[in-house]
Amino acid sequence: MIVIAIIAAAITITWHWSQSRFAVGYWGGENATRIRAAEKVQLIDLADESSNKDISAAKGLVHFRQALIEDTSYAGTVPVTEAKPLWQVEVIFIDEGTQNSTSVLFDLKNGLAALPDREEALSAASIADGLRKFFVDQGVAPKD
């Protein structure tokens, strides 16, 4: 029974790892870990930067985090200079133990997600509707 459990665990870990190689490659290991497990999550509506909101216990946050680190969420990368994103939302994942954080920017109209210091953005068209719904549920209205 223990051998079967170990085999099942190994298969599960391998499968999940294979589903996240591209995304984790973009985010980087430390950022991906914070996106997945940070204790504190802040949301900033960039149209109203005073709107810093703690969404650490928000409904749907677990699925939001998982979508950000899964390869199937992205069609690839696009140069920021080409995409000309209009960043509408920033989500900050904060590791309270180390006080390190990861900021992720979102262009809800064009379905883009990016780290602020990267020259490429992730094309997240396949999850754009879900991102918009998640942010609307958090009180952020998508801008056209």
Q: What mean pLDDT value characterizes the chain?
A: 88
3-state helix, strand, coil in the chain (%, to 5): 40, 20, 35
Query: How do residues 84-135 score in pLDDT, each as one tens digit?
Result: 999 999 999 999 999 999 999 999 999 999 999 999 999 999 999 999 999 9
Contact predicate 115/87, CB 8 Å: no
Cα 26 from Cα 20, distance rounded (Å)? 10
Over residues 33-46, the mean pLDDT reads: 96
CA nearest to 102, candidates 57, 14, 36: 36
If you average pLDDT over residues 46-53, what whole number do you get?
84
User: Region 12-19: what's the mean pLDDT?
Assistant: 50
pLDDT reading at 70 higher than 50: yes
Rounded to two decimals, what is the model's pTM? 0.84
How confident is residue 50, by pLDDT bands cut at 50, 70 and 90? confident
Taken in order of first residue, the domains within the chain and their CATH numbers are 2-137 (3.30.1490)
